[in-house]
Structure 1
Amino acid sequence: MSIWQRYCIRSLPARSNRERTAVLALLCAALLAAAALSLRCGSQNIPLWELLSSLRRGDPGDPALRILLHVRIPRTLAGGLAGCALAMAGTLIQAVLNNAMASPNVIGVNAGAGFAALLAVSLAPWAARLIPLASFLGALGAALFIYALAAKAGLSRTTLILAGVAVSSMLTAGSNALTLLYPDMALGAASFMLGGFNGVTLAAVRSAGWYLAAGTALAAMLAADLDVLRLGEESAAGLGLHVGRTRFLAVLAAALLAGAAVSFSGLLGFVGLLVPHMARRLVGGDNRWLLPVSALLGGSFVLLCDVTARLLFAPFELPVGIVMSLLGGPFFLHLLRRKKGRVYD
């Protein structure tokens, strides 16, 4: 039995369905509270009741209504959806690669999506609708490349992470080269590379909506199969599971989710690494519960980080990606220190 399987069986807490349902309900409430905080807070702290009153009056000349409709609602929606998508993508990638340290940003999936999005903007600045598709294709290409490396016999999990870091570095270098070759987009590219929601529009979120919906539906369909896959390839195949197809579809779902999120949020890091670990501590390793819990937890986490980025040095605003890196970097080092070559504690 692998270390991954021992971890899933022994180390994770045993939860009843009633306890897991309670966790889901609490996380739904937490997400709603984070969304309300995101709607209220910013360079102008407008009370929530005043925002709701402005929305009810519907006066187009009301500054509070304009702030709510054109700034706060798009930003809150984008933050919540990006957090949900990246957290689910991280959960899927960790299950497929059988590696607790894998995540969309660590193995280069986010970097692939970012490079493809910048390439699309550079070559076809008139076609904004191409950005989600380009992000998805870039994320899928990077994920499949790393998956191909993982499938090779004798490739250790440590080597896999190092390969992912190398791929991410090359793709980031490609993105930087594009900003030098196309200086007109340099300012927007800098914000994109750091990750954040300043200036995000409902149109950008809407254009990525189909990819988010498809990735979420595919992940939900694969949850039970991923639980079977935790038993090991031979056992899963013996139970009738098509292992190769399941893993490819899981990679496809992760690429859809990560690519769509990157298309409007930029290169947010560490969401797909931190959140699945926290979710496993809450509901265990059953993917039928782990995926929705990760989604809710990820949405709340990103929204709270975004609020922190807005208020930390107000009225100046930090890109939310900086806040996430400050939180995620120490966590990643903590994993490295505790694992000492193992897959899981």
Structure 2
Amino acid sequence: MYKKLLSFIVVIALLIIVTIYSMITGSIAITAGELLKGLFTGTNEHVEIIKDLRLPRIVIALFAGAALSVSGVLLQAVMRNPLAEPGIIGVSSGAGFMSIIMITFFPTLFFYIPLFSFIGGAVAFLFVYLFAWKSGLDPLRMILIGVAINALFTGLSELIKAQNAGSMMSGISVTSSTLAMKTWGDVQVIVLYGSIGLILSMLVYAWCNHLGLRDKTLKNLGFRVNRARFVISIIAVLLASIATAVAGMFTFVGLLVPHIGRTLVGNDHKLLIPFSAITGALLILTADTLGRTLFSPIEIPASIIMAVIGGPFLIFLLRKSDRIYGN
């Protein structure tokens, strides 16, 4: 228990430190004291610029990281597969594809993008289930089908971008994984829907724990397995879709963070879900801050940094997968 408590304390402390550092570092650099005073008095011109330009992307990075990480935890519980992740199995690309469709062909429905992103993510996840079903669900087959679905929707998205290059600047800004030029309107969307998804995920933590058992055992105990999988999947798709609609495409977040969480706080989802949310927020904010400041004024999208980290980690997980979950 001491290790779990210490893990929470360390991650929360790091999150606070990185958040403050991200706020005071960049093209406009101020001290923490000036930032704090300016936020309360509103008399510092630099702080006002930070509030309008830098603070929204920080909040979005925090919620996107939390949403994608928890989505990964839920999908892994549903599939009983530590390699499941919304970016890898096509949920994020499905959500991104639907966002591009709406922006390109129905720009007047811009404010309904979160809803249609959710539909796109849900359709992608449904395809994974349908095509992977063959006398039952094989975890490895689901991952492979998910990779194919991800490639399909990614290719379709790139095709639409290429065909509508002249009118796609707003679409690219929405579905790309750079957090620059985000507004407080974007913050309101991701905070509202992200908070709903995160709260719902905590309400189903017991179901996630139950799904670690075999289906036959759960049915003998009277547990409604299919209903639990359906509800948890919907919550996971909601979280991944809203993160993609607002923050863009990020892969490996939902893969990397849950594995770290299981190592530090165990498999109990009552602790794993909130720990993953905090750690995911820290990871995306750190990646975005590094991308923004490392080679300033050139900005590296946070998704590139995540891909550099996540690619080798996926290879590591694949090599060690026989030791995961006691298999």
Fold shared per TM-score above 0.5: yes
Note the C-alpha offset of 1:155. Answer: 5.0
Alignment of 1:1-345 (within 5 A): 16=1, 19-59=3-43, 62-153=44-135, 156-192=138-174, 194-339=176-321
Q: Distance in 2 between matches of 1:189 and 1:326?
A: 25
Moved more, 272-281 or 222-231: 222-231
Residue pair 1:111, 1:171 contacting (<8 A) in 2 also = yes
**Identity level (%):** 34
Distance in 2, matches of 1:155 and 1:126, equals 40
SS of equivalent residue, structure 1 residue 129:
helix
Counterpart-to-counterpart distance in 1, 2:220 and 2:137: 24
Q: Deviations over 1:24-53 (max 9, x none)?
A: 233222222221122122233322222222
Moved more, 187-196 or 214-223: 187-196
Residue type of the partner of 1:119? I
What letter is aligned with 2:130?
A
Letter in 1 for 2:213: L
Task: Give yes or no for contact 1:146–1:164 (8 Å, CA) kept in 2.
Answer: yes
Answer whether contact 2:175 2:246 (CA < 8 A) is retained.
no
| 1:274, distance to aligned residue in structure 2 (A) | 0.3
Residues 339, 84 of structure 1: alpha-carbon distance in 2 compared, 3 angstrom cutoff: same
Per the TM alignment, residue 243 of structure 1 is displaced from its structure 2 partner at its CA by: 0.3
Q: CA deviation at 1:217?
A: 2.2
Partner Cα distance (1:190, 1:65) in 2: 29
* CA deviation profile, 1:251-291 (whole Å, cap 9, x unmatched): 10001101111111100111001000000001110111100
Separation in structure 1 between the aligned mates of residue 199 and residue 324 of structure 2, nearest angstrom: 32
User: Take 1:249 and 1:133, find their aligned partners in 2: how far apart are those partners?
Assistant: 17
Aligned Cα RMSD in Å? 2.0
Report the more deviating stretch, 183-192 or 239-248. 183-192
User: How far apart, CA to CA, are the structure 1 residues paired with 2:222 and 2:322?
Assistant: 35
- The CA distance in 1 between the partners of 2:309 and 2:12, in whole Å, is 23
Q: Is the 8 A contact 1:90 1:276 kept in 2?
A: yes
Q: Is the 8 A contact 1:195 1:266 kept in 2?
A: yes
Compared CA separation, residues 344 and 41, structure 1 to 2 (3 A): farther
Aligned-partner Cα distance in 1 for 2:10–2:102: 40
Asked if the contact 1:100/1:344 (under 8 Å) is kept, the reply is no
Residues 97 and 147, structure 1, Cα contact 8 Å, conserved in 2: no
For residues 108 and 150 of structure 2, the distance between their equivalents in structure 1, rounded to whole angstroms, comes to 27
Whether the 8 Å contact between 2:103 and 2:171 is mirrored in structure 1 is no
Q: Which runs of 5+ in 2 are unaligned?
A: none
Distance 1:204 1:83 in 2: 15
Instruction: Supply the AA of the counterpart residue of 2:39.
Output: L
Q: Once the 2 structures are TM-superposed, how far is the Cα of residue 124 of structure 1 from its aligned partner?
A: 2.1
Q: Distance in 2 between matches of 1:170 and 1:237?
A: 36
